Amino acid sequence: MKLSVVIPVYNERATLKDLVRKVEGVDYDKEIILIDDCSTDGTLEILKEFQGRDGFVVLHHAKNQGKGAALRTGFSRATGDIIVIQDADLEYDPKDYGVLLEPILDGRADVVYGSRFMGGPHRVLFYWHYVGNKALTTLSNMFTNLNLTDMETGYKVFSRKVIDSIELKCARFGFEPEITSKIARKKYRVYEVPISYNGRDYSEGKKITWKDGIAALWFIVRFRFFD
């Protein structure tokens, strides 16, 4: 079993080295795919340190396109049997890979979501973000007939056949409702597992805003009725 860790990166100079070190320390046969989405803070210079290293693939967008576009680029180069999405900001800890991969490795699941709301340790932040996440998850569940607790989670894991079977379109944070809608439509087996979550605030580089939440509402409806 080979694991492809796909890491979209945009202006994460402060955390990137620590994150890569944590991913390298996870004891799986793996490749680490880093996609720079036209960073402007010196991130690209750090990424060059990994260029050409065994087990690494480093890719670069000449123009900022968004997380969804970076993930599509990374998926296109992934060669693993299982693909895990890993944010570069240290909010999600690679030590959770074991619990994330277990349902796929033992044959129960095709897709696993790591839920921030199932009892794992988490930093206490942003009540209204929590409310927004729950509202978006509830609406998504109504349209997909899934009973997820955290549709917007950054930790999503897929077997190879899932990624190969789905055509993705969203360039930015609309990726989350899009992939959820499409795996539900194809009736893949989805599991959720509890994960730890070290959320950060905007002074620490958090990027998602209320505008992305409004956009997610549209994408939930679009990929249910118009795609």
**pLDDT digit string, tens, across residues 48-104:** 999 999 999 999 999 999 999 999 999 999 999 999 999 998 999 999 999 999 999
pLDDT of residue 215: 78
The average pLDDT across 108-126 equals: 84
pLDDT of residue 210: 64
Terminal Cα distance for the chain, rounded: 33
pTM of the model: 0.90
* Distance (Å) of CA 89 to CA 76, 138, 211, 226: 22, 26, 20, 33
pLDDT of 121 higher than 90: no
pLDDT of residue 143: 95
| CB of 137 closer than 8 Å to CB of 150 | yes
What rounded mean pLDDT belongs to the chain?
Answer: 91
3 state DSSP class of 24: helix
pLDDT of residue 107: 96
Closest by CA to 173, choosing from 124, 144, 206, 139, is 206
> Measured between alpha carbons, how far is 78 from 61 in angstroms, rounded to an integer?
17
For the chain, give the number of residues. 227
pLDDT of residue 5: 98
The average pLDDT across 114-137 equals: 80
The average pLDDT across 164-176 equals: 90
Which stretches does DSSP call E strand in the chain?
A: 3-9, 30-36, 56-60, 82-85, 111-115, 156-159, 190-194
pLDDT of residue 201: 58
Confidence of residue 207 (pLDDT cuts 50, 70, 90): low
pLDDT of residue 182: 96
Homologous superfamily, domain 3-225:
Spore Coat Polysaccharide Biosynthesis Protein SpsA; Chain A (3.90.550.10)
Q: Which residue intervals of 9-109 are DSSP H helices?
A: 16-24, 43-47, 67-77, 97-105
Percent of the chain predicted with pLDDT > 70? 92
HSE of 44, CA atoms in CB hemisphere, 13 A: 12
Residue ranges per structural domain of the chain: 3-225
pLDDT of 128 higher than 80: no
| CB of 68 closer than 8 Å to CB of 139 | no
